[in-house]
Copies of this chain bind each other. A is one copy, B any other.
Amino acid sequence: METLNAAELLAALGHESRLSIFRLLVEAGPDGVIASVIGEQLGLPSTTLSFHLAHLSRVGLIRGQKEGRFIRYSAEYPTMDELIAFLTRNCCHGKACLPKTATCDTTAKRRELATGAAATEKLITNPAE
């Protein structure tokens, strides 16, 4: 991920309503939440909600899936993972760093949720400098 794209994602999350929406969806998990339910939970008028959902969708942090009259939104976890990886990448000259995929990638965890497999994690010390 390059700086411009990351800034776009961070700006999208840098608004209280949108961050609340995103966090709600992150906690909700892959099944997502119907738009109107998000609005009820957060107390946002439909117009404002739609505006922010569109913004988050446009930058790729969430996605909406139509279900009849409803739209079910869910967090785009890979985007979040990449963003966090970007923020911490090559931290402190990359000395002795936990690799970004070990420190911040939540993909493995979600795979485990799906398969029921036990969680495992390796620590890889970066020998480079």
Q: A3-B20, A87-B84 known; A15 and B11 CB under 8 Å?
A: yes
Asked whether any CB of chain B lies closer than 8 Å to the CB of A44, the reply is: no
A29 to B106, CA, bound (A): 25
Bitwise interface map of A from 55 to 97 toward B, beta carbon under 8 Å scored 1, else 0 = 0000000000000000000000100100010011111111111
Q: A11-B11, A109-B98 known; A29 and B93 CB under 8 Å?
A: yes
Q: A10-B10, A23-B3 known; A119 and B98 CB under 8 Å?
A: yes
A84 to B82, CA, bound (A): 12
Contact of A109 among B89, B90, B96, B109 (CB under 8 A): B96
Which 8 pairs, one residue from A and one from B, show the smallest C-beta to C-beta distance?
A: A11-B14, A10-B14, A29-B92, A14-B14, A10-B13, A121-B123, A7-B16, A7-B19
